[in-house]
Amino acid sequence: QVQLVQSGGGMVQPGTSLRLSCAASGFTFRNFPMHWVRQAPGKGLEWVAVIWSDGSDQKYADSVKGRFTISRDNSKNTLHLQMNSLRDGDTAVYYCARAMMTGWYFDLWGRGTLVTVSS
Amino acid sequence: EIVLTQSPGTLSLSPGERATLSCRASQSISRNTIAWYQQKPGQAPRLLIYGASSRATGFPDRFSGSGSGTDFTLSISRVEPEDFAVYHCQHYDSSPLSFGGGTKVEIK
């Protein structure tokens, strides 16, 4: 079954760190660029980060640059998002998403995991 | 950075009516690199349209996308009960990617 299964998330205090994971199955993970997209409560979608299929490059939204790191392990079909120096504004449901090789639109999404940053 | 503005914010319709959703870009989008997603409460978004007008697998032909340049439209010819949801547009012209604020299609 083609799917992305997310783990991690939870409630943390401002300034702390959290790591999200996304396990892929049912497709050749190493062939696809992977992204993280988030959605604050009651708000729209916000692109967070992308990593190339071979892990050779990454790009980030300005809102997370220098604090978040996207990585992948193609041998384990797993995507990660390391989130440091978390802020209240990072509170959101975080989705991992598979992008097409022909263009960065998302044809497969994880179910999302809630990250709450609160003191 | 390309900013996408969706309108209206909420569209109240009765089943069987036509829905027209707008997505306007702050600058011209090359190669029609616009996607639309449907999102129902508590669920992840689901790809609906890519390349501005190509329909994704699993969606019926009452859904259609059109437009070019800075103005793009998602149309639902006759809204069915299962179509009431939030619709998001997204550009993938260049980095950073961005989404519009979403249009909620609700039952009138």
**pLDDT digits 0-9 by tens, B48-94:** 999 999 999 999 999 999 999 999 999 999 999 999 999 999 999 98
**pLDDT digits 0-9 by tens, B33-53:** 999 999 999 999 999 999 999
Contact with chain B for residue A47, Cβ under 8 A: yes
Q: What pLDDT is stored for residue B95 in this prediction?
A: 87
8 A C-beta contact, residue B83 and residue B105: yes
Contact with chain A for residue B56, Cβ under 8 A: yes
Contact with chain A for residue B3, Cβ under 8 A: no
8 A C-beta contact, residue B4 and residue B100: yes
Q: Is A109 within 8 Å of B45 when comparing Cβ atoms?
A: yes
Q: Which two tokens stand for residue A82?
A: 């390391």
Phi, psi angle pair for A3, to nearest 5°: -160, 160
8 A C-beta contact, residue A75 and residue A9: no
Facing residue for A44 by CB, picked from B51, B97, B100: B100
Q: Is the predicted pLDDT of residue A102 greater than 90, yes or no?
A: no
